Structure 1
Amino acid sequence: MVNFAAAALACLAMTPLIGAFPTNSTLLKAAHHNGTHHHVARSNLTAAEHFLEPINGTHHHFTRSNTTLLRDFHHNGTHHSPGFRESPRPKACSENMSEVLVVTSASGRQNAHLLPLLVSSKRFKLRLVSHSEASAEKLRTRYPGAEVVVADLASVDACRELLRGATAVYHAGPSIHSREREMGFNMIDAATAEAREPGSQFRHFVYSSVLGTQHRKLLQHDLKSFVEERLMLSPIPWTILQPTNFMDAYPVAHLSSMENPSMERLWKPNMPNSLIALRDLAEAAAKVLTEREKHFYAQYPLASTLPTTDAEVFEAISKKIGKEVQVNTPTFEKGVENALAMLFGGNSMLCAEGDLRPDVTKDEAERLILFYNRYSLAGNPNVLRWLLGREPTTVEQWVKLQLDEAKLK
């Protein structure tokens, strides 16, 4: 039997000194070149700030001296220790360089669909943010042309560094984290500060939120509503995407491989909820990011389907794989236990690494199970249909796509 808790909850709509020390009033932009981190110390100017403008994925950290401001230079993917000096290379600051797009939660499931579209567009130089070095290494392997940064979004200083030299940001905060709201605030405030810098190229903040932030009973929805408000009150152009629960929560290929397929759900299978295919969400997000101005100050509630029950989804899967899928509904306590185990790697783990409030994350999980046992997350596909310029993916189409992809592996 498949423990569906992990898949379901994980898919709820629910990271050395180079450079001269300047002595004149020249302003040099930071350049990131070929994946390296170079660190140069700052002096004088109060509240001196780093600037990052990635070129081919490297971090160089320069400091200001007197009235001069140097932006970071990324060059050749190496870390140079303090004391190593090299003159800055103005040619690295070409105006023709790709725009820098910062993507948070880059190793998350929704970004796994979005990033290939952004890479193929060739418009952006990607700066991918990961919460751990292990995830960062996977991202470097998968996207060798991107700059990958491990950062703690709970630190506003870290967020300031992430936004240096950026043109846009796609922020998808972590779900079921006690500091999700603070992380969102930090990213918005960092983007606002970056936009106010002389010569800033910052243009657009896209926030991947969730459908129905009015649902105060769902704590992660409530937290996202505060982030939405902070963004709306900021002076920077924004777009808010509000996807419903992910269709990709259902492990179609795995069920197909089982002799007697069965699943354990987190909540009752007869409760209808709207779903979105991650391929649809990724396509819509890529369109918003590339078209930019057309989508300024818009909120888009996104769903591929009208409300549909798990039972109906299982029926569609059963028809396609030629086997009936048995659905088992856990008790409330078991549903919460499954959710926490799936999210954080074991029954003894109640929160993400570094999260100091496991009581808050457990409260979020409990509220989530209570809500979906009693209420629906309902949405309409019209907005997504308009954004895509095509019909959104149906459950039947999505099941077929999953089976076709499994055959190719």
Structure 2
Amino acid sequence: MKKMIVVTSAAGHTGSIIVDALVKRGLPVIATDLNPTVKQLPGIERAIVGDLTQLDVQLEIISAADILIYIPPLFSSEEALIGNSLIDLAAEAKLQQFIFMSVTHPILSSLLQHTAKRDVEEHLIYTGMRTQLPYTILQPMHYMHNFDPLAVKRSGKYRIFYSLDGAVAYVDPIDVAEVVLNVLAEPAKHNKATYELVGTAPYTPKELVTRFNAVTGEHAVAEYVPVEQFLDDIGAQDLYFRTGFKHLADSYSQWGLDGNVTVLTMLLGRDPTTFEDYLVRTLAK
């Protein structure tokens, strides 16, 4: 019997890409999300619609899983509680594999969503040593889909909430999904490993737009938008969400965010997807 794989936050951008990669590989997937559109993901065995802050939802997820791919909800004030509880339940149920989608440099205290993941990583490592729960921690860099080339082409602007000189590295979520498949294929090889998944050198918003214009022949510009205005424009009302975005704006403006591409290159067995490759693929849709 095939191992059942449960993916959380599966209706999100990264989650849906990972689910698609699993389904195309012929693997059985249960997709779960608070968003009921998770039911529409093609090829899944079934969907679980529910709030990860609720114990009964977590118990349903764990009871359905042989393998859990835990993608945290975006900017949840209860993120650390959610993750730690799922780890405890997974260890008690003796899941065969726990893959945690963390973030590059969770040790950075200037980023709200990083510190929550740091706490979950710590709990997972301690639990793995105590119970021998098999786990792998993946630490993706800033995702390429945060630059939407179709929107930039329509508007002629890349509106961004941090300094136009703040340099941030990127990773293609499709590359991350490929790493997930490789980890699932050889769980013992990747047990208790932590992998930093960085796909590119750091680029400023101005450099991203320059590369976009070189690929497309457009004349788009990068436009700085104060973070409070940006949050108002997207209708963000949740206080934790707004605070997390302010942390991003401050941290990226002061230091940027980068890392090293070597680990991802080794895991893929090829060079990571370039920003230009991502642009061409996305614009061709």
For Structure 1 versus Structure 2, the TM-score category normalised by the shorter chain is: over 0.9
Alignment partner of 1:129 is 2:32? yes
- Quick check: 1:328 aligned with 2:208? no
More divergent stretch after superposition (160-169 vs 313-322): 160-169
CA spacing shift, 1:337–1:293, aligned 2, 3 Å:
farther
Q: C-alpha separation between the residues in 2 aligned to 1:127 and 1:101?
A: 6
Q: Give, as a single letter, the amino acid of the residue that structure 2 aligns with 1:187.
A: L
Conservation of the 8 A alpha-carbon contact between 2:16 and 2:41:
no
Within a 5 Å distance, the mapping from 1:255-270 to structure 2 comes to 255-258=152-155, 261-270=156-165
CA distance in structure 2 between the partners assigned to 1:298 and 1:187 by the alignment:
19
Residue number in structure 2 paired with 1:284: 179
Aligned residues: 281
Compute the displacement of 1:291 (Å).
2.1
Partner of residue 185, structure 1: 84
Q: CA deviation at 1:403?
A: 2.1
8 Å Cα contact 1:156-1:190 kept in structure 2: no
Q: Once the two structures are aligned, what percentage of the paired residues are identical?
A: 26
Alpha-carbon distance in structure 1 between the residues aligned to 2:245 and 2:150: 27
Instruction: Give the alignment partner of residue 311 of structure 1, picking from 206, 213, 219.
Output: 206
Q: Do the aligned residues in 2 keep the contact of 1:336 with 1:369 (CA within 8 Å)?
A: no
Cα distance, 1:253 vs. partner?
2.5
In the aligned structure 2, how far is the partner of 1:100 from the partner of 1:397? Answer: 33
- Which residue is 2:170 aligned to? 275
**1:376 is matched with which residue?**
256
Answer whether contact 1:268 1:373 (CA < 8 A) is retained: yes
Shift of 1:337: 4.0
Which structure's residues are more often helix, by fraction?
Answer: 2
TM-score normalized with structure 1 length: 0.66
TM-score normalised by the chain length of structure 2:
0.93
> Closer, same or farther in 2 for the Cα pair 1:296/1:341, shift >3 Å?
farther
Whole-angstrom distance in 2 between the partners of 1:160 and 1:389: 37
RMSD over aligned Cα atoms = 1.7
CA-to-aligned-CA distance 1:76-130 (integer Å, 9 cap, x gap): xxxxxxxxxxxxxxxxxxxx2x21111000001112221121012223x211111
Does the residue aligned with 1:230 lie in a helix, a strand or coil? helix
Within the candidate set 216, 219, 237, 1:350 is matched to 237
Q: 1:401 to 1:144 in 2, by over 3 A?
A: closer
Q: How far off is 1:257 after superposition? A: 4.2
Which residue in 1 is equivalent to 2:241? 361
CA contact (8 A) 2:21 2:178 kept: yes
Q: Which amino acid aligns with 1:249?
A: N
The counterpart of 1:254, out of the listed 132, 135, 151, is: 151
- Residue in 1 that maps onto 2:109: 216
Equivalent position of 2:4 in the other structure: 100
For 1:157 and 1:190, how far apart are their aligned partners in 2? 11
